[in-house]
């Protein structure tokens, strides 16, 4: 049997390296910036008013007070968006709105609050000082300055910053594009009636969600029947229709039964099917799929039992997919916690991934639900995997175990 670590290496080798691509701002939230972004323009872009009021020469109003108000004519009106190319003549003011360009010759803003808000003449009952209420060009970010360093996971204010700099797109690490296939003649779409012997198909939506959760794109190819020719035909058709599929991810059809369609369709040549020393998730496959047109696409084949499929995704695919989309950052660390209850039995020679519940304070972990790989609800109600080493067959309460936090 192959070790978990060895199969992790084989699968990781199949995932393409991080690749920067320009993405429209509407699509970059949560993605990782792939290159440094340099400011093409300064922020603020030009000297502008921080208040509604009047653009003035500060010295004209240096001595204004309630007892001795200063009165001057309003020579122009500058709403936001106006070019403000008329210079301010001495002994006059321009009325100006917040965000509007400060005219040449003005060196301060006199806010409405210090005046009678006059339209023809303004009467100021308080002074203003040199530079008051002017937002200076470049005081936030100079043109040519570093706006944001590569490697940052993009949040709303980052997107605002790019937009303010006039950037319509920025380079992010491209999402891995995964073609998700579920096989099995017993599978039926949720929403349609079940016939005898049929079950609802659950792996494709679950694995698609797992791919999307780490930032990938998933395309589901569901209800592929247990027929080798049909399976290959449907994959070839999907590959022709979709551009840039980075990975084909199948579930089911890899165990020891009579109709193991995935194994039959891909075995030999460029894919291998092995037993991995783990529970759940023993039957696994990986390699490359050679399409009808001769091109090859990486392939990972997971077992069909829903818990096995989901645990296998966590163990083999999650970290390499994250690395491909986060620019190779190391995977998130696993933690250690003491068992709140004993583990009475664990198979000798197999690494066991029990579903578990990690206490809110993370101070202890309890195994949750039976070990069988069809207990999907137990998996849904758990929030972690408890990683029991292959050579361990039981553990007392209080023993420290490795925990994979799934929440």
CB of 183 to Mg ion, least distance (A): 6
CB of 11 to Mg ion, least distance (A): 21
Which of Mg ion, ligand AMP, none does residue 202 bind (CB under 5 to 8 Å by kind)? Answer: ligand AMP
Question: Which window, 105-113, 230-238, 304-312, 374-382, contacts Mg ion (CB under 5 A)?
Answer: 304-312
374: its two tokens: 């069809």
What three-state secondary structure class fits 210? helix
User: What are residue 323's phi and psi, to 5 degrees?
Assistant: -60, -40
- Could you give the count of Cα atoms lying within 13 Å of 369 in the half-sphere of its Cβ? 22
User: What are residue 115's phi and psi, to 5 degrees?
Assistant: -135, 180
Which residue, 199 or 242, is less far from ligand AMP as judged by CB? 199
Which residue, 265 or 358, is less far from Mg ion as judged by CB? 265
Q: Within positions 240 to 279, which residues make up the interface with ligand AMP, using CB under 6 A? A: 251-255, 257
**374 within 8 A of 407, measured Cβ to Cβ:** no
Which of Mg ion, ligand AMP, none does residue 211 bind (CB under 5 to 8 Å by kind)? Answer: none
CB of 283 to ligand AMP, least distance (A): 7
- Going by the DSSP 8-state scheme, the letter that residue 57 receives in this structure is -
Q: In angstroms, how far is the first alpha carbon of the chain from the final one?
A: 31
Which residue, 230 or 255, is less far from ligand AMP as judged by CB? 255
Q: How far apart are CA 345 and CA 65, in angstroms?
A: 87
Q: Tokens 């200063």 identify what position?
A: 70
Q: Does residue 252 bind Mg ion (CB under 5 A)?
A: yes
CB of 304 to Mg ion, least distance (A): 5
| Residue in 290, 283, 206 with CA at minimum distance from that of residue 248 | 290
**316 within 8 A of 9, measured Cβ to Cβ:** no
Q: Does residue 201 bind ligand AMP (CB under 6 A)?
A: yes
Chain mean position to CA 201: 27
Q: Does residue 306 bind Mg ion (CB under 5 A)?
A: no
| Residue in 50, 70, 73 with CA at minimum distance from that of residue 61 | 70
User: What are residue 17's phi and psi, to 5 degrees?
Assistant: -70, 165
Among 132, 176, 187, 218, binds ligand AMP (CB under 6 A): 187
CB of 178 to Mg ion, least distance (A): 20
Q: Within positions 277 to 316, which residues make up the interface with ligand AMP, using CB under 6 A? A: 303-306
Residues 6+ apart with CB under 8 A from 58: 107, 108, 128, 129, 130, 131, 132
Which of Mg ion, ligand AMP, none does residue 79 bind (CB under 5 to 8 Å by kind)? Answer: none
Question: Which window, 67-75, 170-178, 235-243, 246-254, contacts Mg ion (CB under 5 A)?
Answer: 246-254
Chain mean position to CA 78: 43
Among 62, 199, 380, 399, binds ligand AMP (CB under 6 A): 199
CB of 262 to ligand AMP, least distance (A): 8
Question: Which window, 39-47, 198-206, 227-235, 266-274, contacts ligand AMP (CB under 6 A)?
Answer: 198-206
Residues of this chain that interact with ligand AMP (CB under 6 A) are 182, 184, 186-187, 199, 201-204, 251-255, 257, 303-306
Residues of this chain that interact with Mg ion (CB under 5 A) are 184, 252-253, 304
């Amino acid at each position: 049997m192959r070790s978990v670590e060895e199969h992790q290496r084989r699968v990781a080798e199949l995932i393409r390296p991080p690749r920067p691509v320009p993405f429209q701002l509407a699509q970059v939230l949560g993605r990782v910036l792939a290159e440094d972004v340099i400011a093409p323009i300064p922020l603020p872009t030009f000297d502008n008013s921080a208040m509604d009021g009047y653009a003035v020469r500060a010295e004209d109003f240096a001595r204004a007070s309630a007892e001795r108000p200063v009165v001057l004519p309003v020579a122009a009106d500058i709403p936001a968006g106006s070019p403000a190319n008329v210079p301010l003549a001495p002994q006059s003011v321009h009325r100006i709105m917040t965000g509007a360009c400060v005219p040449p010759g003005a060196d301060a803003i006199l806010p409405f609050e210090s005046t009678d808000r006059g339209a023809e003449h303004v009467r100021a009952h308080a002074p203003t000082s040199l530079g008051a209420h002017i937002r200076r060009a470049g005081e936030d970010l100079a043109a040519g300055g570093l706006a944001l360093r590569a490697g940052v996971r993009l949040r709303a204010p980052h997107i605002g910053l790019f937009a303010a700099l006039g950037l319509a797109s920025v380079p992010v690490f491209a999402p891995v594009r995964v073609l998700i296939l579920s096989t099995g003649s017993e599978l039926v779409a949720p929403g349609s009636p079940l016939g005898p012997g049929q079950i609802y198909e659950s792996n494709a939506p679950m694995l698609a969600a797992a791919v999307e959760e780490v930032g990938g794109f998933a395309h589901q190819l569901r209800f592929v029947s247990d027929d080798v020719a049909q399976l290959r035909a449907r994959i070839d058709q999907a590959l022709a229709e979709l551009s840039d599929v980075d990975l084909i991810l199948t579930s089911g059809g890899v165990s020891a039964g009579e109709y193991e369609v995935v194994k039959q369709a891909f075995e030999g040549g460029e894919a291998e099917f092995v037993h991995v020393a783990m529970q759940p998730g023993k039957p696994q496959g990986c390699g490359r799929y050679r399409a009808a047109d001769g091109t090859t696409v990486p392939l990972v084949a997971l077992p069909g039992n829903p818990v096995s499929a989901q645990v296998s995704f966590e163990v083999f695919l999650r970290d390499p997919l994250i690395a491909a989309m986060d620019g190779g950052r190391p995977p998130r660390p696993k933690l250690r916690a003491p068992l709140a209850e004993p583990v009475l039995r664990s198979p000798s020679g197999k690494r066991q991934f029990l579903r578990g519940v990690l206490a809110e304070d993370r101070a202890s972990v309890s195994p949750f639900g039976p070990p069988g790989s069809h207990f999907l609800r137990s998996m849904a109600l758990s929030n972690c995997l408890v990683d029991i080493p292959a050579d361990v067959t039981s553990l007392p309460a209080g023993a420290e175990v490795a925990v994979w936090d799934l929440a």
